[in-house]
Structure 1
Amino acid sequence: MPTAADGLAAVDAWFARQGWSPAPFQRRGWAAFRDGRSGLIHSPTGSGKSLAAWLGPVSRALDRGDRGGGLRVLWITPLRALAEDTAGNLREALDGVGLDWRVETRTGDTGSAARARQRKRLPEALITTPESLSLLLSYKHAAQRFQHLDAVIVDEWHELLGSKRGVQLELCLAWLRARRPGLPVWGLSATLGNLDQAMAVLLGGAQGGQPGGERIAGDSPKTLTVRGLCPDQVDRFPWAGHLGLAQLQPVIDYLEEGRTALLFTNTRAQAELWFEALAKARLDWITEIGLHHGSIDRRLRQKLEQGLRDGAFRCVVCTSSLDLGVDFSPVDRVVQVGSPKGVARLMQRAGRSGHRPGADSEILCVPSHAFELVEIAAARRAWAAGRVEARPPLTLCLDVLVQHLVTLAVGDGFQAPRVLAEARATHAFAGLTDTQFQWCLDFITRGGAVLEHYPQFRRVVEDDGVYRVTDQGLARRHRMAVGTITSDYQMRVKYPRGGSIGTIEESFVARLKPGDVFLFSGRALELIRVRDMTAYVRAAKGRRSLVPRWQGGRLPLSTELADTVLDILEEVAGGDYRDQEVQAIRDVLEVQLDQSALPSRRQLLIERSRSREGTHWFLFPFAGRLAHEGLASLLAWRLGQRFPATFSISVNDYGLELLTAAKVPPLHEDDWRALLTPESLVEDVLAALNAGELARRRFRDIARISGLVFQGYPGKGKTGKQLQASSGLLYDTLDRYDPDHLLLDQARREVLESQLEIGRLRAVLERARDQALVLTTPERFTPLAFPLWVERLRNRLSTESWRDRVARMTERLEKHADRRAGDA
């Protein structure tokens, strides 16, 4: 029988056989766990965080001679695609140290036979997702399954923090802690700006901020090289998307320097286009390049991931689907197409090269328009300064709490005082009032004041202080709906007699008619028909294809990156072009300075131009697309209160355009100060936007999570239109007869906080109060204004028409810039 310290000796011996030496931070992690502490391990991708967490409970089990018999370690992963890879890594460590534990996965991909077996007896180590963990709590005798649990490890905690999936996990962890007091919980995170808060949220109200929480950092920062691909020639009037594929050959040259590469794009549509371009440019690579994104069928993705492990691919074009730890050998090259929009995202992707302890990482960034070169330089500076984005946690998501209560009621049932205490032990519900909790109980037992006359909303029955679901049909429906992941509704894409290719958003397919051709999964496909939420297709040859547009592709520029860009532009205004990427677009920046000015943190640039369309105002707060959408609507509404006019709006990450054909007076500094005041912000935003319709659409997801609407059984799912109609009817009914309904209030709050980024919008207005307002009246569109004009045109005209208009306008602006330069 092993004796004390045998566990760590076995770990050291295994490391020695591998030719490794444990990192100091790994030893600190093992010691902290063995002392019964909880905490957060944060270190760059590929530095060994998993072993720093896993070998703590493994070594202690070796000390005790624990050969298992029931669940000992629960490993939470944010993506089910990571589960099998993680399981393989954990098994390898167990084999190395000689511990005979079973490691299994339980996700949405786990077969029914395996799930039934696990309900009877769990393995010693279970890798699962927040959704599958919640499902485990919905079965009878749940507490017995976790009675021997010694540790919970949450992988990639930064990916869950700040989402409703994170809130769902907080509630599950509180349930586990209530049954296993002192349960060690460890989070793993690579890149995060609010580490102390992240640890406090993970450890809950009982331990967050207390001495039991310990932050363990990696021993040394990873060496990272960020390079921008600077084109030989840059248009002085750039527009989004124009530059990317024009640099295809330099990208191919870079890929040829290595053996394996990942080429990241920000959107699935962009990934499709780059995969097609690479395949056409290098026919000799046709079997060595792959395409990987979340809409491609899972089996096809798994086949590609195995090819990565086997070294069968020269280059894989991918999106965030390969951001996280799908396990494969480190690649030689990582390419980022387009701005990463955030420092953390760039570092996560760069870490896929040199994905091992002590190895250096490098990433080549390919701008899709000229100003993204400044973003690339800003990302490098922000990383060097340690300015990484925070993930603010969510609070009072009552739809998630309601789902959790029904989950417990489906299982062994719950008593209200105990579950209230558990909820308040989380960060998300620390401020939950008695009134709010009682409302939740009333909602699940009666449906609330308005819906109490409909039997389907009386889901839970209270009997002698215990709340249970007694209807097995309701129980089955609830288990099918457990989870908080919401997205635009998907249609499956299939061949008539073949396998599945993947999924595409219903809104895209709705615009197609039979015979239309679109590019998907690297193939040109012709739509045959649509039936039962499935688009049937066949291969198409030699015809122009559309590219699907997925709504999830609009990433806003982060505050950290935007502020660093403004710092660089202030340097440029003073004649400082120190970054090579900034030097590459010197002509663009000099034209901007000649015709107008450059914004900075200290000054807000406002341009007024005239064209045949009317009066254009361009503002450049550099606050990201979402905040600019809210700001543009707010300004248009406030201007409309001053004089009768209608406005067209265009936004991008740098600024916004307001266009009106009405005759309007010039606006002076005092006018803009009044328009940009943060006073009455929420009231004015709600008046400016169709806030009711926005909340109505937001309510669809809240209604699904809380169980008000049911998506349907497998193979018979409701369409997005059907679900919107059902939830819309509920919204209208509640809004009319119960306007103070807490889920309606949550929908309105989420519209402001998430969809319109009201906090960031307020920060923009408060900053503007202290900024110098630089008002200019350029004769023509400036390089900063031109992309906003193009964006508005793109949304209004056909592809051919707007490209012709853009080309003609570019020619006129170039001639104007040359004329000014000649005069100078």
Structure 2
Amino acid sequence: MSALPAPLQDWFDARGWQMHPHQAAMLDRANAPALMLIAPTGGGKTLAGFLPTLAELGAAPAPGLHTLYVSPLKALAADIKRNLSTPIAEAGLKIRVEDRTGDTPASRKKRQRADPPHILLTTPESLALLTSYEDAPRIFAGLQRVIIDETHALAESKRGDQLMLALARLQTLCPTLRRVGLSATVDDPQAVARLMARHPDPCEILEADPGPDPDISMLVTEEAPPWSGGGAKYAIPAVLEAVKQHRTTLIFHNTRAQAEIFFHNLWLANEDGLPIGIHHGSLDRGQRERVEAAMVAGQLRAIVCTGSLDLGIDWGDVDLVIQVGAPKNVKRLVQRIGRANHRYNAPSKALLVPANRFEVVECVAALEAVRARDLDGEPRGPGPRDVLCQHILIAAAAGPFDADMLFAEMNAAGPYAGLTRAQFDACLDFCATGGYALRAYDQWQRIRQREDGLWELRDPRSAVRIRQNIGTIQDTDTLKVKMRGRGGKPLGDVEEGFAASLTKGDTFLIGGRIVRYEGLREMVVEVSREATRKPKIATFMGTKFATSTQLSSRIVRMFQQDDWPELPDHTADWLRLQRDVSRLPEPGRLLIESFPHDGREQLVVYGFAGRNAMQTLGLLLTKRMEEEGLAPMGFVSTDYATLIWGLDAVTDPRPLFDLERLEEGLEGWLQGNAVMKRTFRASATIAGLIERQVGGQRKTGRQATMSSDILYDTLVKYDPDHLMLQITREEAMRGLVDFARIREMCARVGDRMDLVRLTRVTPLAAPLFLEPGRVPIRGDADDRLIEEEITRLLDESGLAQVDAPARPVWRVPY
């Protein structure tokens, strides 16, 4: 085993510590060109990644940048800096560690370029920016190692694609550069390793002892979950009781709006005055930092949060994680569970709280998957070309480049290993001319080829604008929210569209408090305190997750059991009744139910393809029904089913699922749809066609939307095969409409469709009638009217038998 420098070994010995086997293994493999460590949360994987660096610098310190650490979160970089400072200072090592993110002062950034620290902690965006400078070869001249933390999170997004292109650039500057990936949750280690390594070089994978299984179960509540809704208000008494029994509890939600609602209701029920906080990405940074500091100091008993606290930061003495709502993805659930008892070989403790009846089934399926260590994940396609276009502009900002060499460099990046020269040349031409329809406009002619064959910026001054717009994160168009008055306290952000819907006197939730809208001043939403009225909810976009295909498959397999002893009685009875009056979905088959209700014909398709795909399927099926002479009137979708209502009954569903006709319908729908315009705007911004920052000033969302819509309409009319339209279609198909899941579903079931004609609503279909948009109920009488609607549906479907015991009827979350 490789030895640590004496000062570092003495530091270990003084604490009575010994290296974990995987930490020692990382030290032994310090010279591996590419190495990925998969270790459980709390297993010291970050220290394992840095031990070779500390050993090398401790034994032979030298000026200049030695190790670059890249994480997906600015806060994680700052946390690692604090954690590294302790062993370096106490072992007396002469090692300088600094972080460089969007929050770093410009003066420090300038100094770092002139005099780089030994270890620099940064993010993908800041690294891309560093590679765009003319002095990048000097900055990175001595670079020996790059450590990529939370590799799984970066591998699933365009930020990861951007990072891998930047690493390819660094490898060109530093041919002996060693790459280290760190992750706790990886569903396909080989796939992630291929992305991280320099293509076609291999990447060695080191898996640590996974440690004990987590202590994870479903929260027991006196009241059963409601049939519909996502707030889990019914469980708040039980959640508060669990919080009282633990030191610090993280209460995770899948969306920011759900977190706001839950925090508000939790606060109202918090009669003991327990100190609780809220944390999500739309809150003001100052408020987030105050909550983080209180967590580290152990001053909070509970924090209602979203994915903003998913990743590897050690936030104080957390001993319980509660996931409210079905986790949708087993890998994400495991990551969140790891926040509790953040120590090696200490089991994490977690509780799942289903928000509604169907989520009980999904939560049980997720529990089984966690216990089986069966992680899920979606296969990544080739690296997106909008990121490629941005990288070409970054290369040009750094100085003249040879196209052949840049193409070879991009091919060495894992996500772009399959990039063809024709695809690269199309991106190069786009950066040089803007494409056929735009080549007459100087503003889109960013680069040109010199007589010696090298490519360079057409105007060297444009390098500044390129650097101002580097990045792949597409911010939702938001407006700042502040308390009214001079020096008003900032609260966070809300979407422009939501702000535009407000009139003076409207109330909404932000940061867990109810505020009153007073007006819009200089693009700032001004509010005042209001605690007496029922609020609207700010429409935070955040990330809306779809249930993974692996978890959906596990749910369908659960349906095939003879009975369900692992489910609560109320949910098992529900499934038994579904089997009695209709049937349950089966693997490899498509269950379709048809029945009359409220004077309309209802069609329910149980596709289990995720919310985006099921919404797209509803749109395409209604279009196909119109083509077949049927009369659809509308549809609503969930992760597992699509409900369509209309005038005519469907007697043969097979023609509706003709994949070729469905794809033709999708093409027609996409042409002028807002989905495409929104996707175009995001991709065009990444590719550099649309600038969000000009002269240090950020365009408003309305300005950016107007310019992107005009560009989109122009290209559709005059250049329909334009590169940006190709990219837009690829992105829309992959993300917003998720057509790949529909294609996979059709291929899986073929013509094995089970159309069951019934006389009334079925148990599994009943919750669909309570989805937003299907039962439009408004005003203060919401709860009573929804109770009445649920009771009517239960009576009609026979579900009243399931809930015969005298107890409150299902309470729909506020």
State the TM bucket, normalised to the shorter chain.
over 0.9
Q: Take 1:457 and 1:201, find their aligned partners in 2: how far apart are those partners?
A: 32
Residue 388 of structure 2 corresponds to 401
How many angstroms does 1:335 deviate by? 0.8
Residue 655 of structure 1 corresponds to 641
CA contact under 8 A between 1:681 and 1:762: conserved in structure 2?
no
Asked whether 1:531 is paired with 2:521, we answer yes
**Local SS of the residue matching 2:596:** strand
How many angstroms does 1:691 deviate by? 6.1
How many angstroms does 1:472 deviate by? 5.4
Q: Take 1:731 and 1:819, find their aligned partners in 2: how far apart are those partners?
A: 53
1:739 is aligned, of 720, 732, 746, to 720
Residue 681 of structure 2 corresponds to 700
Alignment of 1:406-417 (within 5 A): 406-417=393-404
CA contact under 8 A between 1:87 and 1:104: conserved in structure 2?
yes
Structure 1 residues 536, 713: CA separation in 2 closer, same or farther (over 3 Å shift)? farther
CA contact under 8 A between 1:676 and 1:768: conserved in structure 2?
no
Q: Take 2:803 and 2:495, find their aligned partners in 1: how far apart are those partners?
A: 51
Asked whether 1:127 is paired with 2:132, we answer no
Asked whether 1:41 is paired with 2:28, we answer no
For 1:720, the aligned partner's letter is G
How many angstroms does 1:182 deviate by? 2.9
Structure 1 residues 145, 343: CA separation in 2 closer, same or farther (over 3 Å shift)? same
Residue 339 of structure 2 corresponds to 352
Moved more, 729-738 or 778-787: 778-787
Asked whether 1:328 is paired with 2:328, we answer no
Q: Take 2:775 and 2:724, find their aligned partners in 1: how far apart are those partners?
A: 34
How many angstroms does 1:716 deviate by? 4.6
Q: Take 2:197 and 2:404, find their aligned partners in 1: how far apart are those partners?
A: 21
Structure 1 residues 156, 618: CA separation in 2 closer, same or farther (over 3 Å shift)? same
Q: Take 1:309 and 1:714, find their aligned partners in 2: how far apart are those partners?
A: 39
1:294 is aligned, of 281, 285, 309, to 281
For 1:455, the aligned partner's letter is D
How many angstroms does 1:730 deviate by? 0.9
The superposition leaves residues 562-597 of structure 1 with CA deviations (integer Å, 9 ceiling, x where unpaired) of 1111121211xx2x2231x34452232233233322
Structure 1 residues 182, 297: CA separation in 2 closer, same or farther (over 3 Å shift)? same
Residue 458 of structure 1 corresponds to 445
Q: Take 1:710 and 1:170, find their aligned partners in 2: how far apart are those partners?
A: 23
The superposition leaves residues 625-644 of structure 1 with CA deviations (integer Å, 9 ceiling, x where unpaired) of 11111222222222222114
**Local SS of the residue matching 1:615:** strand
CA contact under 8 A between 2:574 and 2:799: conserved in structure 1?
no
Q: Take 1:330 and 1:196, find their aligned partners in 2: how far apart are those partners?
A: 34
Residue 164 of structure 2 corresponds to 170
Residue 558 of structure 2 corresponds to 568
How many angstroms does 1:448 deviate by? 2.4
Asked whether 1:642 is paired with 2:631, we answer no
The runs of 5 or more residues in structure 2 that have no matched partner are 805-814
1:777 is aligned, of 757, 775, 785, to 757
The superposition leaves residues 435-454 of structure 1 with CA deviations (integer Å, 9 ceiling, x where unpaired) of 33222222222322222222
For 1:241, the aligned partner's letter is G
The superposition leaves residues 171-220 of structure 1 with CA deviations (integer Å, 9 ceiling, x where unpaired) of 1000111121131101111112111010110113142xx3xx21011113
Q: Take 2:599 and 2:63, find their aligned partners in 1: how far apart are those partners?
A: 75
Residue 489 of structure 2 corresponds to 499
Residue 691 of structure 2 corresponds to 710
Structure 1 residues 494, 473: CA separation in 2 closer, same or farther (over 3 Å shift)? farther
Residue 812 of structure 2 corresponds to none
**Local SS of the residue matching 1:525:** strand
**What TM-score, normalized to structure 1?**
0.93
Alignment of 1:591-610 (within 5 A): 591-610=577-596
**Local SS of the residue matching 2:289:** helix
For 2:627, the aligned partner's letter is Q
For 1:459, the aligned partner's letter is R
Asked whether 1:389 is paired with 2:376, we answer yes
How many angstroms does 1:274 deviate by? 1.9
How many angstroms does 1:356 deviate by? 1.1
CA contact under 8 A between 2:298 and 2:317: conserved in structure 1?
no
Residue 666 of structure 2 corresponds to 685
How many angstroms does 1:394 deviate by? 4.1
Residue 589 of structure 1 corresponds to 575
CA contact under 8 A between 2:58 and 2:94: conserved in structure 1?
no
Q: Take 2:656 and 2:712, find their aligned partners in 1: how far apart are those partners?
A: 33
For 2:221, the aligned partner's letter is P
Residue 809 of structure 1 corresponds to 789
Residue 238 of structure 1 corresponds to 227
**Local SS of the residue matching 2:287:** helix
CA contact under 8 A between 2:597 and 2:761: conserved in structure 1?
no
Q: Take 2:779 and 2:705, find their aligned partners in 1: how far apart are those partners?
A: 30
Asked whether 1:198 is paired with 2:192, we answer yes
The superposition leaves residues 609-631 of structure 1 with CA deviations (integer Å, 9 ceiling, x where unpaired) of 21224111011122211111122
Residue 807 of structure 2 corresponds to none
The superposition leaves residues 533-588 of structure 1 with CA deviations (integer Å, 9 ceiling, x where unpaired) of 321112123122111122334211111211111121211xx2x2231x34452232
**Local SS of the residue matching 1:528:** strand
Structure 1 residues 412, 473: CA separation in 2 closer, same or farther (over 3 Å shift)? closer
For 1:46, the aligned partner's letter is G
For 1:432, the aligned partner's letter is L
Q: Take 2:381 and 2:589, find their aligned partners in 1: how far apart are those partners?
A: 33
**Local SS of the residue matching 1:606:** strand
Structure 1 residues 350, 822: CA separation in 2 closer, same or farther (over 3 Å shift)? closer
Structure 1 residues 99, 391: CA separation in 2 closer, same or farther (over 3 Å shift)? farther
Q: Take 1:797 and 1:717, find their aligned partners in 2: how far apart are those partners?
A: 40
CA contact under 8 A between 2:116 and 2:139: conserved in structure 1?
yes
For 2:786, the aligned partner's letter is V
Asked whether 1:225 is paired with 2:215, we answer yes
Percentage identity across paired residues of the two chains:
35
Structure 1 residues 552, 618: CA separation in 2 closer, same or farther (over 3 Å shift)? same
How many angstroms does 1:10 deviate by? 4.5
How many angstroms does 1:5 deviate by? 5.7
CA contact under 8 A between 2:249 and 2:319: conserved in structure 1?
yes
Q: Take 2:700 and 2:474, find their aligned partners in 1: how far apart are those partners?
A: 14
Asked whether 1:143 is paired with 2:137, we answer yes
Residue 266 of structure 1 corresponds to 254
For 1:39, the aligned partner's letter is L
CA contact under 8 A between 1:636 and 1:658: conserved in structure 2?
yes
Residue 767 of structure 2 corresponds to 787
Asked whether 1:109 is paired with 2:103, we answer yes
CA contact under 8 A between 1:508 and 1:549: conserved in structure 2?
yes
Residue 92 of structure 1 corresponds to 86
**Local SS of the residue matching 2:676:** helix
Structure 1 residues 42, 330: CA separation in 2 closer, same or farther (over 3 Å shift)? farther
**What TM-score, normalized to structure 2?**
0.94
Structure 1 residues 400, 264: CA separation in 2 closer, same or farther (over 3 Å shift)? same
For 2:401, the aligned partner's letter is F
CA contact under 8 A between 1:11 and 1:55: conserved in structure 2?
no
CA contact under 8 A between 1:6 and 1:62: conserved in structure 2?
no
The superposition leaves residues 208-263 of structure 1 with CA deviations (integer Å, 9 ceiling, x where unpaired) of xx3xx21011113442122112333437x711236x11111111111111111111
CA contact under 8 A between 1:780 and 1:813: conserved in structure 2?
no
Q: Take 1:123 and 1:505, find their aligned partners in 2: how far apart are those partners?
A: 39
**Local SS of the residue matching 1:383:** helix
**Local SS of the residue matching 2:413:** coil
CA contact under 8 A between 1:234 and 1:585: conserved in structure 2?
no
Q: Take 1:547 and 1:477, find their aligned partners in 2: how far apart are those partners?
A: 37
Moved more, 509-518 or 801-810: 801-810
How many angstroms does 1:290 deviate by? 0.8
Q: Take 1:519 and 1:696, find their aligned partners in 2: how far apart are those partners?
A: 30
Q: Take 1:444 and 1:713, find their aligned partners in 2: how far apart are those partners?
A: 18
CA contact under 8 A between 1:677 and 1:769: conserved in structure 2?
no
1:421 is aligned, of 396, 408, 416, to 408
Moved more, 425-434 or 124-133: 425-434
Q: Take 2:781 and 2:755, find their aligned partners in 1: how far apart are those partners?
A: 32
Number of residue pairs aligned between Structure 1 and Structure 2? 800
How many angstroms does 1:529 deviate by? 1.4
2:598 is aligned, of 607, 612, 630, to 612
**Local SS of the residue matching 2:340:** coil
Q: CA RMSD in A?
A: 2.4
For 1:61, the aligned partner's letter is L
1:29 is aligned, of 11, 18, 26, to 26
For 2:196, the aligned partner's letter is L
Q: Take 2:457 and 2:543, find their aligned partners in 1: how far apart are those partners?
A: 39
CA contact under 8 A between 2:559 and 2:586: conserved in structure 1?
yes
